[in-house]
Amino acid sequence: MRNVSIIGIGQTPVGELWEMSLRHLAHDAVVAAMHDAGIERADALYVGNMLSGELAEQEHLGALIADFVGLRGIEAFKIEAACGSGAAALRVGHMAVAGGLHDLVIVCGVEKMTDAPGADTTAALALAADQEYEVTHGLSFVALNALLMRRYMYEYKVPHEAFAGFSVNAHRNGVGNPHAMFRSPITAEAYRKAAMIADPINLMDSSPICDGAAAVVLAPSDWAGHGRGAAVRILASASATDSLAIHDRRDPLFLEAAYLSCQKAYLQAGVTPADIDLFELHDAFSIMSALSLEATGFARKGEGVRWAEDDGARIAINGELPISTMGGLKARGHPVGATGIYQVVEVVQQLRGQAGVNQVREARIGMAQSIGGSGTTVITHILAGE
Amino acid sequence: MRNVSIIGIGQTPVGELWEMSLRHLAHDAVVAAMHDAGIERADALYVGNMLSGELAEQEHLGALIADFVGLRGIEAFKIEAACGSGAAALRVGHMAVAGGLHDLVIVCGVEKMTDAPGADTTAALALAADQEYEVTHGLSFVALNALLMRRYMYEYKVPHEAFAGFSVNAHRNGVGNPHAMFRSPITAEAYRKAAMIADPINLMDSSPICDGAAAVVLAPSDWAGHGRGAAVRILASASATDSLAIHDRRDPLFLEAAYLSCQKAYLQAGVTPADIDLFELHDAFSIMSALSLEATGFARKGEGVRWAEDDGARIAINGELPISTMGGLKARGHPVGATGIYQVVEVVQQLRGQAGVNQVREARIGMAQSIGGSGTTVITHILAGE
């Protein structure tokens, strides 16, 4: 197998982009990534997206976007794994280049969640959960995460305000990211006073519904060096799954798929958690940050939430383990099928030294972990600067 | 890259399977394929499906099905390329094994189109077309194909009844396939008298809305020989795309993506059309049979329809080029995201000599071509008996 590098990145701002349709969002990200990579053609395009059918009445995004960006004719498919769709598409793209089946591959994550007249976005997001055993009982996706958070608070005797630092850190980092949806800092007090969504999850525990697209260009590592920015090597690409329904798991508070996928990734990359200089984790809800840190080996069970102490000082840009360095899902935004690619684009920005005021000093190895469903499909990528 | 073989196949009957949910359909096909291959584990599962979100209110099929068949934990994604989704998933599975990223991969195509209360299946199928430039003008998917058929009849001065042989052949072959939805022969007269759907497409030009699932197990060819049935080698796996909107094409009557994908496949396999012993083509509508035969080099432009002459005698099981040998999309049925895998399963049956009364004599090389949209995403596989 060949080593694979990311030789170009592109992203749109994240937000309620009423004037942009699905294909225009994808176009802007893909064209920016191609320009960054200095390429005018590609062998294949893999698109990560979860909800285009439900919200934009459009499937068949692979060919649609390939054509719209001027690459009509090339291989193009859509890959779906709920909120992990973008990272799943990157996993497929990585396989294609690593295995020698394609040389130049573009991977785009795109989601258009606003501007969907008649569609029920909350119901659409519940398609990530088990329709027959969870959703029919009235559970929304945020309600499922609320059950997990409530259980965590009960089991480990943790008050709700202990999670504040995750959101404070994310919003602090969103300020410096021109592509972030929310660019205002929040305080722990604002977190405590935020409106309730699904008890105990409040507005400041929750990532927003929004639109956005991000893209990367992959090439064999020995081709790298042709792009405008420095190439970044993919040291590991791995995924694993768990049941959709939370009640089917041995321990709902341990994300087994996150554990499995990152263990595979550590092995592939030959690194341990101690080698990770920054971690873009899947903070769709603040409970997910705590669970993700525990499953990936950065904290023992019940102790992930301690990374949020002191307004998240230890996870800040200049902290021990910077997380959500460009705002994370909470502040950059969470256009679901695009998020996995945003995370990787941001790791590339950090490893290239292009993260501006949010630059993590001496960032050499970065990890991105994307989660589809409540810990169901988890895809982990570890990247290193060349 | 490694050679890849199919070491196991499974399929459910196709039909209006009101008592079977999406996950049960997939389960039956996957378990049958694993049993046929003699395996109890796999490294990954790729699921081809188009409409689970719209019709079953369920996305995230990769993990859902992996868990339900007893493979919780493995890598699992859904791949979508409209009606070509099943074949697209096979293409991804082939890449994973050929490239050495996985050894044992299961690919399942599944679609549940009936039993979707409140859903509009015709509207859902139109998600394969261009929402902004075709569907908003009132065009359904069958209407788009009707425009192509009308144009073909006008351009080449062909009467509607000239297409009858495609449907007569498909239904003739459906009789002998226990998994086919329709198992009664039809006459050319019945074809002529069938109820109109979208002029000039009538009921006998159209494949049915139905449910079904099919699966294959892939392994490196040098692992083959362990399954219960003979292994079948994948000589070629290739895909290409065109615009979604028909009006965007230089020549709406030439399926350029079908041409590109089969040219790549011929090159990979080192064969020409003359070497193909049977051809499972994408007869979603009878016009697609004619266009597909022209794009793949079996007929000149405007002459594809001539293969239908004499009740399809030249495309019959014992004819010059057997097509739709187990009933095709028309009579076996077209559960859209599953169809691409059904086609491949049927080619495997033929190459193994397991096609029963429908057996093509001395079948050594078979081709399956799956089409998403009106010729938009086309995936071609060429298989050979070991």
Give B74 to chain A, closest Cα distance, Å.
5
Find how far residue A17's CA is from the centre of its chain: 19
In B, minimum Cα distance to A55 occurs at B54
Q: Give dist(CA A13, CA A24) in Å, integer.
A: 12
pLDDT reading at B229 higher than 80: no
Active site residue A247: no
Q: Give dist(CA B14, CA B210) in Å, integer.
A: 7
Structure tokens at A24: 């225009």
Q: Are A185 and A357 in contact (CB under 8 A)?
A: no
Q: Give dist(CA A338, CA B35) in Å, integer.
A: 37
ipTM here: 0.97
pLDDT greater at residue A277 or residue A120:
A277
Q: Give dist(CA A158, CA A174) in Å, integer.
A: 27
- pLDDT grade for A386, boundaries at 50, 70 and 90: confident
- pLDDT grade for A227, boundaries at 50, 70 and 90: low
Which whole number is the average pLDDT over A288-308?
A: 98
Q: Give dist(CA A66, CA A74) in Å, integer.
A: 7
| CB within 8 Å: A244 and B64 | yes
Which of B73, B91, B376 lies nearest to residue A241, judging by beta carbons? Answer: B73
DSSP annotation of A307: G
Residue A30, chain B, CB below 8 Å: the answer is no
Q: Are A258 and B90 in contact (CB under 8 A)?
A: no
Q: With CA atoms as reference, report the closest residue to A98 among B1, B176, B296.
A: B1
Supply the pLDDT for residue B119. Answer: 81
Q: Give dist(CA B364, CA B230) in Å, integer.
A: 13
What is the phi/psi pair of residue A177, to 5°?
-105, 110
Which of B64, B79, B124 lies nearest to residue A77, judging by beta carbons? Answer: B79
Among A123-132, A143-152, B351-360, the range scoring the smallest mean pLDDT is A123-132
Contact residues, chain A, for B23 at CB < 8 Å: 132
- Sequence-ordered list of residues with C-beta below 8 angstroms from that of B157, at least 6 positions apart, any chain: none
Q: Average pLDDT over chain B, rounded to whole?
A: 96
Supply the pLDDT for residue B304. Answer: 98
- Sequence-ordered list of residues with C-beta below 8 angstroms from that of A193, at least 6 positions apart, any chain: none
Residue B37, chain A, CB below 8 Å: the answer is no
pLDDT reading at B334 higher than 80: yes
Pairing state between β B196-198 and A196-198 = unpaired
Contact residues, chain A, for B376 at CB < 8 Å: 60, 63
Structure tokens at B173: 């072959």
| CB within 8 Å: A72 and B372 | no
Interface of B with A in 340-379 (CB under 8 A): 372-373, 376-377
- pLDDT grade for A224, boundaries at 50, 70 and 90: low
Catalytic pick from B27, B83, B210, B381?
B83
Give B321 to chain A, closest Cα distance, Å.
28
**Which residues make beta-bridge pairs with A262?**
none
* Biggest distance spanned by C-alpha atoms of chain B: 57
DSSP one-letter string for A222-246: GG-S-SSSPPEEEEEEEEEE--SSG
Among A222-226, B169-173, B300-304, the range scoring the smallest mean pLDDT is A222-226
DSSP one-letter string for B259-280: HHHHHHHHHHHT--GGG-SEEE
In tens, the pLDDT along A61-82 reads 999 999 999 999 999 999 999 9
**Which residues make beta-bridge pairs with B45?**
B76, B106
Q: Give dist(CA A194, CA A235) in Å, integer.
A: 40
Supply the pLDDT for residue A35. Answer: 97
Q: Are A25 and A86 in contact (CB under 8 A)?
A: no
pLDDT reading at A117 higher than 90: no
Interface of A with B in 134-163 (CB under 8 A): 135
Supply the pLDDT for residue B223. Answer: 83
In tens, the pLDDT along A368-384 reads 999 999 999 999 999 99
In tens, the pLDDT along B92-146 reads 999 999 999 999 999 999 999 998 877 889 999 999 999 999 999 999 999 999 9
Supply the pLDDT for residue A228. Answer: 66
| CB within 8 Å: B63 and A242 | yes
Cis peptide before B252 (omega within 30 of 0): no
CB pairs < 8 Å spanning A and B: 206
Which of A81, A124, A260 lies nearest to residue B60, judging by beta carbons? Answer: A81
CA distance from start to end of chain A: 18
Instruction: List the beta strands (DSSP E) in chain B.
Output: 4-11, 44-48, 75-80, 105-112, 196-198, 201-202, 211-220, 232-241, 278-280, 365-372, 377-385
**CA dihedral for A348, A351, A353, A357, sign (positive or negative):** positive
In tens, the pLDDT along B261-299 reads 999 999 999 999 999 999 999 999 999 999 999 999 999
Give residue for tokens 């939805």: B181
Residue B120, chain A, CB below 8 Å: the answer is no
Active site residue B108: no
Supply the pLDDT for residue B14. Answer: 98
Among A133-137, A147-151, B253-257, the range scoring the smallest mean pLDDT is A133-137
Supply the pLDDT for residue B227. Answer: 65
Structure tokens at A275: 């080698």
The percent of residues above 90 in pLDDT, for chain A, comes to 95
Question: Which uninterrupted H or E stretch holds B369?
Answer: strand B365-372
The percent of residues above 70 in pLDDT, for chain B, comes to 99
- pLDDT grade for B225, boundaries at 50, 70 and 90: low
- pLDDT grade for B224, boundaries at 50, 70 and 90: low
Find how far residue A231's CA is from the centre of its chain: 20
Supply the pLDDT for residue B246. Answer: 96
Query: Residues for chain B: how many in total?
Result: 386
Q: Give dist(CA B17, CA B211) in Å, integer.
A: 6
In tens, the pLDDT along B22-50 reads 999 999 999 999 999 999 999 999 999 99
What is the rounded (10 degree) CA torsion for A257, A262, A263, A268?
Answer: 130
Residue B187, chain A, CB below 8 Å: the answer is no
Supply the pLDDT for residue A116. Answer: 86
pLDDT reading at A226 higher than 70: no
